Amino acid sequence: MAKTIPMIITNKNILVKEREADAFVTFDMPGIENVPNLPFYHHFAGRIAECQKYFKDFIREHYGKRFSKNILAIITPDDTSALERIFINEFFLNSGACKAVAQMTMSRALSKNHSRYISLSKSQRNITLQYISEGEIKAEKHYDYNDYDVKAISEDAKRLHIDIEYAGVPIFINNLNMNMDEFFETGTVVSPKEFMDIIAKIDVEKV
């Protein structure tokens, strides 16, 4: 039976769940430099074969000889574009490290105890506000990482969708990347550990 391997693409690297524990190990590709406003994995495109082999060896090291029978459940940043999702899917599917790939944004995984909520997160290029209802993104708004107003975003969160204006829908602040201090008063903060605990138990059928 295929085993699900939960993974999280953060602002700086990829976190992969350990085989026998709910903790995560870090996958870093050597020689990848940080470029402002550009997700680090974009650099994989210029070294496809090398990066895929490096990742395959990493998975083999942590999951043993039968690693290629597994399914990668990849949790992506909330501002991941459709083109980026295609690249992520093709990169990992063709790496030889799995038999299938499933993707879900961080926002959709942020809370398992609420059917409706607002998610607020920050990547290397955007601040993303999303309304999640029954596991689906019903409304969203993006703000430039270099030009935004905390108060305005906090107010937008209260009226992002007509369904939430008078419903008291909770707001969750995704602090996985430890970069949301200025929004702590906007809603309930989800710490890195809390978020990783959720992802460690992800059900691939729901991704």
Q: Report mean pLDDT in 10-residue bins for the chain, 207 residues.
A: 89 95 94 89 95 96 85 97 98 95 96 94 96 96 96 95 85 97 97 97 68
Residues 57 and 100 in one domain: yes
Residues 17 and 99 in one domain: yes
Residues 201 and 151 in one domain: no
Residues 123 and 141 in one domain: yes
- The residue among 128, 112, 132, 109 whose CA lies nearest residue 120 is 128
pLDDT score of 32: 87
Residues 15 and 90 in one domain: yes
> 65 in helix, strand or coil?
coil
Residues 73 and 167 in one domain: no
Domain that residue 154 falls in = 110-191
pLDDT score of 65: 79
Domain total in the chain: 2
**Segments in the chain forming alpha helices (H):** 48-63, 82-93, 106-109, 150-156, 192-200
Which CATH number does the domain housing residue 87 bear? 3.30.420.40
- The residue among 86, 48, 88, 84 whose CA lies nearest residue 72 is 88
> 157 in helix, strand or coil?
coil
**Can you say how many angstroms the Cα of residue 147 is from the centroid of all Cα atoms in its chain?**
23
Residues 93 and 25 in one domain: yes
Whether 92 and 74 have beta carbons less than 8 Å apart is answered as yes
Which CATH number does the domain housing residue 174 bear? 3.30.420
Q: At what angle do helices 48-63 and 82-93 cross, to 10 degrees?
A: 60
Residues 76 and 139 in one domain: no
Residues 61 and 86 in one domain: yes
Residues 118 and 170 in one domain: yes
HSE-up of residue 87 (Cα within 13 Å, Cβ side): 15
Pairing of strands 100-105, 136-144: unpaired
